[in-house]
Amino acid sequence: MGTITIVGLGAGDIDQLSLGVYRTLKQAERLFLRTKDHPVVAQLEAEGIYAQSFDDIYEKYDQFEQVYEHIVAFLCEEVKKGDVVYAVPGHPLVAERTVKLLLEKRDHISVRIEGGQSFLDALFNAVGLDPIEGFQLIDATSFQPDEIQLRNHIIFCQVYDSFIASDVKLALLEKLPHDYPVFIVYAAGSKQERIEKVPLYELDRGMTVNNLTSVYVPKVENDELLYHDFITLRRVIATLRGPNGCPWDRKQTHESLKKYLLEEAYELLDAIDQQDDENMVEELGDVLLQVMLHAQIGEDEGMFSIDDVIRAVTEKMIRRHPHVFGDVHVEHAEEVVRNWQAIKQEEKARESLSLLDDVAKALPGTLRAYEYQKKAAEVGFDWSEVESMWRKMEEEMNEVKQEADRMDEQKLKMEFGDLLFALINVCRYYKVNPEEALAMANEKFYRRFQYIEQKVKQSGKDWRSYSLEQLDEIWEEAKREGL
């Protein structure tokens, strides 16, 4: 069993190779190149250094990862016959997937890394970038858009073709203006070096690309372009609550903000009911603002931060979805709900004195009753047929009528409560959310009464000149109009 010695061909010309790397290449009996598509290769051949490349492997597979695995498998077989030298562009440990795969096999084969100039040095020089300002290196062949950090200079390496360039462009267009300046850098550090400045939308249009092509995106200096960034929002909230911030925001507490959270939540529900996407964006932002303010208060008091909030909900989502993030198998949505409830009960077993403690006491009365009934039904405290629910509602209605004749305000209020509770139970049987049903009824009343107002106004008459029967007829007219 021999050793695989990995060397880097540097970023450009043969003169940039270190003496040690040059000697290794010169003395190698079996030399393999990941690709011949590199400026230094022709110069090495001119000096009598020849090697076998893996360029033909790229044509056999659809995915780069398959190519890299093939190369690694081949080298692992070759090293069994004796020492092998494997040469890659740039530095072996910078953006070189095959090297990483080989290093993962060091328990079975001997691997040694020699030097090589990274393309980063040449690229920094080409675009005039001091890396101390902060930069992000991204493999253009495998990245997620949410990994992009616009506060740093960004270098996309391995922009092999126009399809990869298009992926980079589309990801950036989600975050930057279409005309944001970017730089296409060809063969940095070699005599073939070329830099082209283009607006972002032209990144994949007619550009020449190969394995020596990189894309440089200067860091964003305009704060307005980062308004979509979560870090920006967090900093804005911290500033508002800071020593030189807003007096109103600074004096808020968890308790003082409670009413605003409720108001914003209901305004969001209204936007959802209206199917108004633009308003939903605004109202979701208002709800998020309340979350951020509470988190900032927690951070100011040294109790918790938004990081703790995000960590807690992330852990909860992963824990309660073992069928997605674990090895639990489910057949349908109902089984998911059962698993969720079982996990939730296990989590709450040591915390709750009652099953009903899981229901937030701050919920509106209709929703709180609805949730109480659901919890009780989970352990069998529920009627099995709806007829019993209807009879209970009729019983409560009769008790309301009886108490109304006695004119005891407190008892009458309690009986009305019992009647509403019984009616909500019927809603639950038919899988109707009472809060949503009441909201729909309120909205319907608003539309029809507004119709009556318009008719009265158009008539030029006073409201008191209309009888209830006349107003009711206009109401019926509104119904016929579909309002």
Predicted confidence (pLDDT) per residue in 82-91, tens digit: 999 999 988 9
Q: Which of 62-66, 352-356, 439-443 has the lowest mean pLDDT?
A: 352-356
Report residue 206's pLDDT band, with 50, 70 and 90 as the boundaries: low
- Looking at residue 304, its pLDDT comes to 95
Instruction: Please give the average per-residue pLDDT across 297-310, as a whole number.
Output: 95
**Percentage of residues in the chain having pLDDT higher than 70:** 98
Q: Is the dihedral of CA 228, 229, 231, 235 positive or negative?
A: negative
- Looking at residue 352, its pLDDT comes to 54
- Looking at residue 152, its pLDDT comes to 95
Rounded alpha-carbon distances, angstroms, from residue 118 to 121, 130, 217, 318: 6, 15, 19, 39
Residue 134 has pLDDT above 60, yes or no: yes
Residue 376 has pLDDT above 70, yes or no: yes
Distance of alpha carbon 390 from alpha carbon 386, whole angstroms: 6
Report residue 183's pLDDT band, with 50, 70 and 90 as the boundaries: very high
pLDDT in tens, 93-104: 988 899 999 999
**Chain-wide mean pLDDT for the chain?**
90
**Percentage of residues in the chain having pLDDT higher than 90:** 56
- Looking at residue 143, its pLDDT comes to 92
Instruction: Please give the average per-residue pLDDT across 377-386, as a whole number.
Output: 87
Q: Which residue has the higher pLDDT, 360 or 34?
A: 34
Beta strands at 3-8 and 110-113: parallel, antiparallel or unpaired:
parallel
Residue 438 has pLDDT above 70, yes or no: yes
Q: Is the pTM of this model over 0.85?
A: no
Greatest mean pLDDT among 280-289, 316-325, 340-349, 429-438 lies in: 280-289
Report residue 147's pLDDT band, with 50, 70 and 90 as the boundaries: very high
- Looking at residue 99, its pLDDT comes to 94
pLDDT in tens, 9-57: 987 778 888 899 999 999 999 999 999 988 889 889 988 999 999 999 9
Q: Return all residues near 416 (Cβ < 8 A) that are at least 6 apart.
A: 400
- Looking at residue 351, its pLDDT comes to 56
Instruction: Please give the average per-residue pLDDT across 68-76, as a whole number.
Output: 95
Instruction: Please give the average per-residue pLDDT across 404-433, as a whole number.
Output: 89
CB 232 within 8 A of CB 276: no
Residue 350 has pLDDT above 60, yes or no: no
Residue bearing tokens 């009343």: 445
Strand partners, 53: 33
Report residue 64's pLDDT band, with 50, 70 and 90 as the boundaries: confident
Q: Which of 142-146, 360-364, 460-464 has the lowest mean pLDDT?
A: 360-364
pLDDT in tens, 247-268: 999 999 999 998 899 889 989 9
- Looking at residue 348, its pLDDT comes to 66
